[in-house]
Amino acid sequence: MLPFVKPTVTEEDIERINEVLRSGWITTGPKVQAFEQALSEYLDGALVRVFNSGTSALEACVLACDIGPGDEVIVPAMSFVASANVVVRAGARPVFVDVGLDTRNIDIEAIEAAITPQTKAILPVHFAGLAADLDAIYQLAEDRGLHVIEDAAHAIGSDYQGRRIGADGDLICFSFHPNKNMTTIEGGAVACFDPDLAKRLERIRFHGIERDEAGQMDVLEWGGKMNLPDVNAALGLQQLARLDDYNAKRRALVRRYFERLSRHAAVRPPADGEGHSWHLFAPLIDFAALGIDRAGFQARLAEREIGSGYHYPAIHLFKLYRRMGYRDGDFPNAERIGEQTLTLPLFPAMTEADVDAVCTALDAVLAELTRGTGT
């Protein structure tokens, strides 16, 4: 079975982790400091603070922007649910807007229409590694006095107009989950350029604690337990050194996908773009037109030893957000993506022959179903 995702962990990676375990210092320490410095250098000098997950990184940013009850944050309706959950956790309201059908990225005109006096921030997502329209987003934010919290969980190593995501901006959050382009097992990071914000993020990630020059502790505000252990950072240092090679391989595999992907009327490929790091390759499949549901389609691929995934349901249709008043039909593009998306295998250890095998299996399933529906 070819899985739809598989982290690349080498024997050298394992040995670096073992060295940390043998050292006797396995929680946050020198490896975390080294990892933050390496990420800072990778992002052209950004101030970087690492966290135990991308979700923690997002939550810390929401809190650092003093977002709370009565406030609103504009969020795309198509993303992983963490993008909105962190807003709810702070007591604020996520205001959803629709996305582009092919880019899956937030609609700029919809952002402008959604801004109210209660809006405190815009939270764009660089979906699958394709950069959102940052110039337009930051111009809106500047005009309206808003923060921008970039959810770059998919976009470590992506470029926007020749600059790495995270090398410019307000607050930029990354994820290092095992299915991401590089991993620390679990982990995340925030890049920013304001020393005061960076200091506040440090407090929020560890109980709100601040120490003076003598090492005396005080607690200035609420803080969580969001720190990254050195064990994870040791893996991150290894993975970061190979990230550009990993992303180059992903781009090569996606080029092969575009060459081989079926031109069937029921298949709609995702948008490509300059600087895309291709965390996911997820075409839309019109399952209804083929007379099958997604689970049945995935089962037919699995019979041919091809794994697949599902990224993502539209956030506003979960029960939590329906209770806030969101309904079917509010965001047509996000809903269509949620109904039709199918994530195909993509990871650096794959070969072009693996891509060919995926596309051959996809073609076979489409041919079977087309004969069955007479389309």
What is the residue whose two structure tokens read 């407090």?
203
303 has a pLDDT exceeding 70: yes
- Amino acid 292 reads I
11-238 CATH pick, 3.40.640.10, 3.40.50.150, 3.40.1400.10, 3.40.190.10: 3.40.640.10
- What is 235-300 written as a DSSP string? HHHHHHHHHHHHHHHHHHHHHHHHHHS---TTEEPPPP-TT---S-B--EE-HHHHT--HHHHHHH
Instruction: Dump pLDDT digits (tens) for 228-271.
Output: 999 999 999 999 999 999 999 999 999 999 999 999 999 999 99
Q: Which two tokens stand for residue 326?
A: 């969101």
CA-derived radius of gyration, the chain: 21
pLDDT band at 375 (very low <50, low <70, confident <90, very high): low
374 has a pLDDT exceeding 60: no
Distance CA 360, CA 354 (A): 10
Contact, 192 vs 170, CB < 8 A?
yes
Percent of the chain with pLDDT over 90: 98
The pTM score is 0.97
373 has a pLDDT exceeding 80: no
Mean pLDDT of 190-194: 98
Instruction: Name the least confident of 91-95, 202-206, 259-263, 371-375.
Output: 371-375
Percent of the chain with pLDDT over 70: 99
Residue numbers annotated as active site: 180
Instruction: Dump pLDDT digits (tens) for 7-66.
Output: 999 999 999 999 999 999 999 999 999 999 999 999 999 999 999 999 999 999 999 999
**Domain extent listing, the chain:** 11-238, 243-373
What local confidence, expressed as pLDDT, does residue 371 receive?
A: 87
Distance CA 195, CA 112 (A): 29
Contact, 186 vs 53, CB < 8 A?
yes
Instruction: Dump pLDDT digits (tens) for 323-354.
Output: 999 999 999 999 999 999 999 999 999 999 99
What's the half-sphere exposure (Cβ side, CA atoms, 13 Å) at 265?
6
In this structure, whether the domain defined by 243-373 belongs to CATH 3.60.21.10 is answered with no
Q: Which of 70, 108, 72, 97 is nearest to 87 (CA)?
A: 72
Q: Strand locations in the chain, DSSP E?
A: 47-51, 72-76, 93-97, 119-122, 147-151, 159-160, 163-164, 171-175, 188-192, 209-211, 217-219, 267-268, 284-285
Instruction: Dump pLDDT digits (tens) for 267-285.
Output: 999 999 999 999 999 999 9
Using CA atoms, how far residue 125 sits from 22, 83, 179, in Å, is 39, 8, 17
Contact, 174 vs 166, CB < 8 A?
yes
Contact, 280 vs 129, CB < 8 A?
yes
